[in-house]
């Protein structure tokens, strides 16, 4: 049951219910107006929160690769060489293509969070070859990773931003 915190006697009075409803609608309209006025600032604030967690975006992208999937949740194609695949299987017990041998590529990964959309890249010398062989989709987050990022890491900071915005 929804309650606006009004006395029960007011709720039984049709005029009281109408006035309470109109007051609540006025408050909702005020919140919507503030959201519209602050739209650009909201985008900047959320981007700042994402920027504060840039390392996490990169870690989630690398973890996806270690699980053998790209940003589209598609399995990375298998290694061409059976002997190389066998050696890699000993290095990664998951037995998947993970694009990691020395760790230089994974360590060079970054997420540019200065504007939307966030762009993932890497500076390792093998990057161009890996993109050519496995596609641009090696960079970015799966829907599952985005959900983890939003719910487990960004949610509280975003809620706090809106609490401050609305002075709650």
pLDDT at 165 over 80: yes
Interior/surface letters 17-27, b for 16+ CB within 10 angstroms, e for the rest:
eeebeeeeeee
The pLDDT assigned to 31 comes to 76
Q: What is the DSSP letter of 79?
A: P
Find the mean pLDDT for residues 97-103: 96
Find the mean pLDDT for residues 26-32: 76
CB 42 within 8 A of CB 35: yes
Predicted confidence band at 37 (pLDDT cuts at 50, 70, 90)?
A: confident
Residues in the chain: 168
Q: What is the pLDDT of residues 44-82, one digit of tens each?
A: 999 999 999 999 999 999 999 999 999 999 999 999 999
- Measured CA to CA, the distance from residue 76 to residue 122 in angstroms comes to 18
Question: How many angstroms separate the Cα of 38 from the Cα of each of 25, 32, 49, 55, 165?
Answer: 20, 10, 16, 28, 9
Q: What is the DSSP letter of 125?
A: T
Percent of the chain, pLDDT > 70?
A: 86
The pLDDT assigned to 10 comes to 45
H or E segment and range at residue 144 = helix 143-148
Q: What is the pLDDT of residues 133-149, one digit of tens each?
A: 999 999 999 999 999 99
Structure tokens at 89: 């299987």
127 or 32, higher pLDDT: 127
What is the model's pTM?
A: 0.79
The pLDDT assigned to 150 comes to 96
Average pLDDT score over the chain: 88
Residue corresponding to tokens 């998951």: 94
43 or 9, higher pLDDT: 43
Predicted confidence band at 4 (pLDDT cuts at 50, 70, 90)?
A: very low
């Amino acid at each position: 049951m929804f309650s606006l915190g009004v006395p029960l006697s007011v709720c039984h009075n049709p005029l009281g219910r109408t006035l309470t409803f109109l007051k609540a609608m006025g408050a909702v309209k005020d919140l919507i107006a503030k959201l519209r006025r602050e739209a650009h600032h909201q985008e900047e604030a959320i981007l700042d929160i994402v920027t504060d967690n840039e390392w996490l975006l990169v870690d989630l992208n690398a973890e996806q690769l270690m699980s053998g999937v790209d940003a589209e949740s598609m399995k990375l194609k298998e290694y061409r060489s059976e002997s190389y695949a066998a050696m890699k299987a000993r290095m990664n017990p998951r037995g998947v293509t993970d694009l990691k041998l020395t760790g230089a590529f994974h360590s060079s990964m970054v997420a540019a969070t200065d504007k939307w959309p966030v762009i993932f890249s890497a500076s390792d010398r093998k990057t161009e070859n890996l993109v050519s062989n496995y596609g641009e989709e090696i960079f970015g987050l799966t829907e599952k990773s985005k959900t983890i990022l939003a719910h487990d890491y960004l949610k509280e900071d975003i809620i706090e931003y809106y609490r401050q915005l609305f002075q709650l």
